[in-house]
Structure formats: C-alpha cells, structure tokens
Amino acid sequence: KIIILDFGSQFTQLIARRVRELNVYCEIHPFNNIPALDSTVKGVILSGSPSSVRQENAPFVDLNLFKSYPLLAVCYGAQFIAQQSGGNVEASATREYGRANLSFVNNDNPLFKGILVDSQVWMSHGDSITKVPDHFEIIASTAEVKVAGYQVKGEQTYAIQFHPEVTHSTDGKTLLSNFLVGICGCSQDWTSDAFAETTIADLKAQLGDDKVVLALSGGVDSSVAAVLLHKAIGKNLHCIFVDNGLLRKNEYESVLEQYKDFGLNIKGVDAKDRFLGELAGVEDPEQKRKIIGRVFIEVFDDEAHQIKDVKWLAQGTIYPDVIESVSVNGPSATIKSHHNVGGLPDFMKLKVVEPLKTLFKDEVRRVGNTLGLESFILGRHPFPGPGLGIRIIGEVTAEKIAILQEADHIYIQNLKDAGLYDQIWQAGAIFLPVRSVGVMGDERTYENVIALRAVESLDGMTADWCHLPYPVLAKISNEIINKVRGINRVVYDISSKPPATIEWE
C-alpha cells in the first residue's frame, strides 16, 4: 500500500482517488498521526497544504521516518523537503494558480518517463522554491517556476511543485503511475474484484459462525455491505428493513423485493403507524428529525432482540466518514463522543463490522457492480434517513405523505424518461404548507404548493441547483398539477448550498 500524509490540502483526497484509480491501495493519514510503517508500505506521498513552510508552527514531519521508502512530495511537501535540506523557499512575487506548461523535463528520470516538454501542469501555490542544495537535481521546470520538479540524488525522493492529482495536469496520471509502478513497484492489483474476494474471505475469518444484524435502507452503502456479508456468512446475516412510512412511493415494496431476489435473509418491519403517531402535531424540523431517529432506534432494537445470540452490528460506513483529515485551522481535533454505555440501546453494545470503511463512494458502486447488484440500487440518488418527513414542511400527516409521494414519483419518473436522472446528484419534491389560489376549469381552487429540488454536487457539502431544461420542467409541472389532487402550483428551487441546504428542513 501507499501512505499519503495529509498536510491539509483540499486536494489530498483527490490524490487518494487517483492512486486507487491506478488500482493501487492507499490510505490517508494526518501528518501529525503517522501510522507504523512496515513492509506492506511501498511508498509515501506528502500532500500539499494551505500553510507556508515559512510560517512558525508550519506542519512538520521527521523525514528520517521515510528514509527507506520511495517518497513523492507534492507542492507544500516539495517545499518542506527543500527547506529542511538547506534550500530556500520564498513567497512568490505573484501567487501562481492555474495552468502552466513544462519548459524543461528530464525524460531519463523515472518520474517523468513519457512526459514531454509543453505538457500542461496545474499550479496552486503562494511560495516557490528559489534555491535547492547541490545534492538535488532539477528534473522539471516551467517558465515561471524553475524548480517544478526535483530528485534528491542517490535517494528515491522525488518532489513536484504542481498538482498531478487534478485532471488539468494532463500527464498527472502518467506521473503518478511512474511513481507507483516504476519507482515503488506496486502491482496494481487493487480492483473491485480483488476487494470483494479478499473482503469476503476476511469477513468469513472474522465472523466465523457469529450472527450479524444490519439495518438496510435501500441506499447504496447498506446494500453493498449487505451483499458482501451475505456472500461471506449467508443466513447468519440478519437484515432489517424498516418502513417508517416516509419512503418514496412503492419504495418499500420494490426494494424489499430486490433484496429478497438476492437471497438476503431480510425482515421487513411495517412501523408506519408508529412513526406517524409520534410525529402527530410536531412542526419543528429538529424535533421531527429527533423523533424519527429515536423511533428508528427503538424499532431496530426491538427487532434485533428477536435474533438470538446476535454478536455483531454491521454498518455501511464509507471512507470519507473515517478519514481523519487536517483542517485549515490546524490539525483537527479527534472528536470522540462519550457514550453513556448503560443508556445505549442493546444493539449498540454489539461489536461493529464495517466492510466498506476503506472505500470511496464510487468504489462502493463498482464493488456493488462486481457483486451483481443492479443499477436500480447502485445508481439511486442519496435520500435522507428522515425521508419525506423533512420534505413535508411543518406537520407530517398521512394525507400529505400520499400527496408528496405522488408528486415526487411524477418528478423522478420524468427525470428518468428525459435521461437526466443519472446526471443529477440528488432530486426530490417538497410539500409546502402554503396554499395559493388557482383556477381549474371554471372553478376556483385553493390548494398546496409543491417545490422541486435538483442539485449537482460531489459530496453533498456544497451544491448548485441544476439548470433543468424548461420543456422538462413544464411537463413535470403540468403532470403534477393535473394528476395530484391537492396541488395547484409547482415552483422550482434555484438556491445553491451554501447559503441554502439541499433539504428544506
């Protein structure tokens, strides 16, 4: 594996993605919490950073730790090594962001094999290396940046000022491949097939004949986790799928059907009335979320108790949830929640197994594909745990849920028919507690409003509204108003996140 040391650059996760796209397994670790390095480590990458090596308290690592490993330092990493070795790093006259082209490349150097003069690279730095010590060899330059790449002579230490991980560096992938394969000797065997195979074997060994319980949601992560576990331990995996009454139209039935087709040992629990009862009269969004969360735990705990001798709780946690990254304001504090163990529901006292915790979202999809999960499950938009409960503004009632389910169904179906669904990160309809006047036939109406939301995003942290084609919006609006009783007006949400959020509540 490859270890990526994070100095806090916004691109660190992207480095990991690129390394994995080359079928090499890698892990991100914060520079101030370096894991023990053993023979499974084939090389180390130092990331960029928003800090400057000229600052006091700039991120620091002891380079001696990596003496016996090939090292690739990017941006801040490159400046750090240069400075530590007696070179000079100074503030650039102009901060350099964006495209540049290599004006000199040493093609005999293994890092730059196959990368030619003129190759476009992506710069993003405020400091520059202005002098390197004699035992450094400059292996690439641009017109502005003489030290765009160097190697420490006689060592497997390489550094570059530009960012090979961004696609604007056109030969970035070649460079990373040169490092990973040519220099580190990685074998490129980290594929979704291999992941599935070794994970299933590991789960078998770890779990033996133990019983495991898992909450299925219909989402990608819990589904892929379930199928992996099912392949490893078969009927000893007990899946629970709770119908909270806040799912999309027909979702519960159709997803349950798919899971059964897969041979999963699954119990569907109809808890619609329980959720609805607890939500009656509640208008406050946070309170609604808390109630839905609490009732889910109660229902799940009841069900888990009915499985005799269950020892493990499986979760679909993925890598972005567990990466301990370095924030701009210094190393991020590891936040540990202090559970009052006595007060926890029983299932939370189980041992936890998380088969996807090393994977990024797109890798989860690929593994799901390898396992034969259908695009029906793999390609679906994210859907919040509290479901339609937070897409009905104000009090949730059975009648409003039915109206919203119809409107949402028409919306999503039209996006699919227009071939837009897969290009959108997330879409859904929202029921507004606002009534407005309309006219249908000769009659005056006074009915509710449906808002439509569709966003583009990479991770849900930031988002922009989708510029859906007017003809598609027109068709959706028409169909909703004509077919869904209780709705006489449709509006489209054109807010980005921030300052709005994706969900309305």
CA distance 224 to 226: 5
Q: Is 220 annotated as a binding-site member?
A: yes
Residue 460 found at the interface with ligand XMP (CB under 6 A): yes
- The token pair at 100 is 């540049």
Q: Is 223 annotated as a binding-site member?
A: yes
Applying CB under 6 A, the site for ligand XMP has a residue count of 11
Q: What is the DSSP letter of 110?
A: G
Q: How far is the CB of 460 from ligand XMP (least distance, A)?
A: 4
Question: Which of 385, 394, 438, 486 touches ligand XMP (CB under 6 A)?
Answer: 385
CA distance 211 to 314: 10
Which is the catalytic residue, given 26, 125, 165, 406? 165
Question: Which of 13, 426, 448, 477 touches ligand XMP (CB under 6 A)?
Answer: 426
Residue 70 found at the interface with ligand XMP (CB under 6 A): no
Q: How far is the CB of 498 from ligand XMP (least distance, A)?
A: 9
Q: Which residues contact 371 (CB under 8 A, 6 or more apart)?
A: 196, 224, 227, 228, 231
- Is 163 an active-site residue? yes
Residue 361 found at the interface with ligand XMP (CB under 6 A): no
Q: How far is the CB of 254 from ligand XMP (least distance, A)?
A: 20
Residue 382 found at the interface with ligand XMP (CB under 6 A): yes
Q: 50 vs 382, which CB is nearer to ligand XMP?
A: 382
Q: Is 375 annotated as a binding-site member?
A: no
Residue 451 found at the interface with ligand XMP (CB under 6 A): no
Q: 425 vs 492, which CB is nearer to ligand XMP?
A: 425
Residue 502 found at the interface with ligand XMP (CB under 6 A): yes
Angle between helices 272-279 and 285-305 (to 10 degrees): 150
Residue 167 found at the interface with ligand XMP (CB under 6 A): no
Residue 167, φ and ψ in degrees, nearest 5 = -65, -20
Q: How far is the CB of 455 from ligand XMP (least distance, A)?
A: 8
Residue 9 found at the interface with ligand XMP (CB under 6 A): no
Which is nearest to 96 in space by CA: 143, 138, 47? 143
Which is the catalytic residue, given 26, 75, 184, 186? 75
Q: Is 419 annotated as a binding-site member?
A: no
Q: Is 247 exposed, middle or buried (0-12, 13-18, 19+ CB in 10 A)?
A: buried
What CA–CA distances, in Å, run from 281 to 85, 246, 435, 486?
A: 68, 16, 19, 20
HEC profile of 165-223: CCCCCCCHHHHHHHHHHHHCCCCCCCCHHHHHHHHHHHHHHHHCCCEEEEEECCCHHHH
Q: Is 419 exposed, middle or buried (0-12, 13-18, 19+ CB in 10 A)?
A: exposed
Judged by CB under 6 A, the stretch of 58-66, 301-309, 378-386, 431-439 that binds ligand XMP is 378-386
Q: How far is the CB of 456 from ligand XMP (least distance, A)?
A: 12
Instruction: Compose the 280-319 pattern: x for residues touching ligand XMP by CB under 6 A, - for all others.
Output: ---------x------------------------------
Q: What is the DSSP letter of 419?
A: T
- Is 26 an active-site residue? no
Q: 132 vs 463, which CB is nearer to ligand XMP?
A: 463
CA distance 57 to 115: 36
Residue 320 found at the interface with ligand XMP (CB under 6 A): no
In 199-350 the beta strands, taken as DSSP E runs, fall at 211-216, 237-243, 266-270, 310-314, 326-327, 330-331
Q: 163 vs 249, which CB is nearer to ligand XMP?
A: 249
Residue 110 found at the interface with ligand XMP (CB under 6 A): no
Q: Is 221 annotated as a binding-site member?
A: yes
Question: Which of 384, 447, 449, 477 touches ligand XMP (CB under 6 A)?
Answer: 384
- Is 75 an active-site residue? yes
Instruction: Compose the 472-501 pattern: x for residues touching ligand XMP by CB under 6 A, - for all others.
Output: -------------------------x---x
Q: Is 219 annotated as a binding-site member?
A: yes
Residue given tokens 């972005």 in the structure block: 320
What CA–CA distances, in Å, run from 24 to 157, 188, 321?
A: 19, 5, 21
CA distance 419 to 341: 49
Residue 394 found at the interface with ligand XMP (CB under 6 A): no
Judged by CB under 6 A, the stretch of 205-213, 384-392, 438-446, 486-494 that binds ligand XMP is 384-392
Which is the catalytic residue, given 26, 96, 125, 163? 163
Which is nearest to 473 in space by CA: 438, 427, 433, 434? 427
Do 160 and 175 form a contact (C-beta atoms < 8 A)?
Answer: yes
CA distance 198 to 57: 42
- Contacts to ligand XMP from residues 168-207, by CB under 6 A: none
Compute CA 319 distance to the chain's CA centroid, rounded to the nearest angstrom: 7
Question: Which of 386, 415, 431, 450 touches ligand XMP (CB under 6 A)?
Answer: 386
> Binding site: residue ranges?
217-223
The residues binding ligand XMP (CB under 6 A) are: 289, 382, 384-386, 426, 460, 497, 501-503
Active site residues: 75, 163, 165
> Binding site for ATP: residue ranges?
217-223
